[in-house]
Amino acid sequence: MDWMTWYNALNKPSWTPAPATIGLIWRILYPVIVVTFGFVFFKAARGQLPWMVALPFAINLLANLLFTPIQFGLRNLPLATADILLVWASIVWLAVAVWPHFRWVAAAQLPYFVWVSVATVLQVSITLSNR
């Protein structure tokens, strides 16, 4: 079965956003992520920011990119839950790491953090409901 049929067959909480809503939220967040993460990587590459500050950004980016293949390719709900917990924790880490250097970058992560917090609760709920 295709991924959408599989996803639609899962037990989900009543407050689960529609796939179109989830897509819209990511279309709003991705430009902020691209600009702020790109800025951090650029500053680190130029030696204007320690690479240790950029590390949580790299971890977050990798974990974020791996979520969809894990969730919808492997269809592994527990591993997807672990991944989204890493995404969530790394947002906190990157905001704390970059705050002393570029507060605007840390502040710009707030909508990302809020959405990933909602998505994490949703993912945990789906995983627990489909054991």
Q: How close are the terminal C-alpha atoms of the chain, in Å?
A: 19
User: What mean pLDDT comes out for the span 57-78?
Assistant: 98
Please report the pLDDT score of residue 94 as a whole number: 98
pLDDT band at 1 (very low <50, low <70, confident <90, very high): confident
pLDDT tens, 39-51? Answer: 999 999 999 999 9
Q: In sequence order, which residues have a C-beta less than 8 Å from that of residue 113 and are 6 or more positions away? A: 88, 91, 92, 95
- The pTM of the full predicted model, rounded to 2 decimals, is 0.95
Instruction: State the average pLDDT for the chain.
Output: 97
Of 124, 88, 125, 126, the closest CA to residue 109 belongs to: 88
Vertex 115, ends 109 and 118: CA angle to 5°? Answer: 140
Distances in whole angstroms, Cα of residue 116 to Cα of each of 10, 19, 25, 45, 51 = 20, 15, 10, 27, 24
Give me the residue spans of the domains in the chain: 38-129
pLDDT band at 78 (very low <50, low <70, confident <90, very high): very high
